């Protein structure tokens, strides 16, 4: 991984074999980023996306592998209850099925490993964004007050 900060934007290159989510969190720790958003593209060799099942209050994971194009990655950074960076992201991937037909998979990004390169643009917020449990939704959400 290599990154460069230009003004208030961080440009991150994620290298072959590196984990996208862990790389973003690592840069946030190094640069003390406590809120913000990111977007990116790249090529992965494995990715696990998840679908939230409200009735079970749990996720179902879907793992894909092979030559996977990360068409769109977008997410945000906040701070968890342990004062650590927390990322929430969604991604869209395209890949070829065994029969050569193109397929698309999308959802909550659990993890992805770069197969060639990843290019991510991270824009930090000027202030910390925390998280709080929302009883109505049954999940942690941004704490903005």
The sign of the dihedral angle between the CA atoms of 112, 22, 84, 92 is negative
Measuring CA to CA, how many Å separate 125 from each of 33, 35, 79, 90, 110? 8, 5, 12, 19, 23
Give the tens place of pLDDT for each residue, 37-68.
Answer: 999 999 999 999 999 998 888 899 999 999 99
Picking from 28-32, 105-109, 135-139, 141-145, which range would have the lowest pLDDT averaged per residue? 135-139
CA distance 99 to 5: 43
CA angle 50, 51, 54 (to 5 degrees): 135
In this prediction, residues 84-93 reach a mean pLDDT of 98
pTM of the shown model: 0.94
């Amino acid at each position: 991984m290599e990154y460069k900060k230009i003004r208030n934007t961080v440009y991150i290159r994620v290298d072959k074999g590196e984990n996208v989510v862990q790389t973003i969190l690592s840069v946030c720790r190094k640069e003390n980023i406590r809120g913000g958003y990111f977007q990116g593209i790249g090529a992965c060799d494995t990715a696990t996306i998840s679908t939230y099942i409200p009735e079970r209050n749990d996720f179902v994971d879907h793992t894909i592998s092979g030559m996977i194009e990360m068409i769109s990655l977008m997410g945000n950074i906040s701070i968890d209850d342990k004062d650590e960076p927390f990322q929430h992201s969604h991604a869209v991937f395209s890949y070829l099925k065994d029969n050569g037909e193109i397929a698309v998979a999308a959802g909550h990004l659990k993890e992805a490993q770069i197969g060639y390169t990843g290019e991510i643009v991270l824009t930090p917020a000027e202030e910390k964004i925390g998280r709080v449990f929302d009883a109505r939704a049954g999940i942690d959400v941004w704490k903005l007050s």
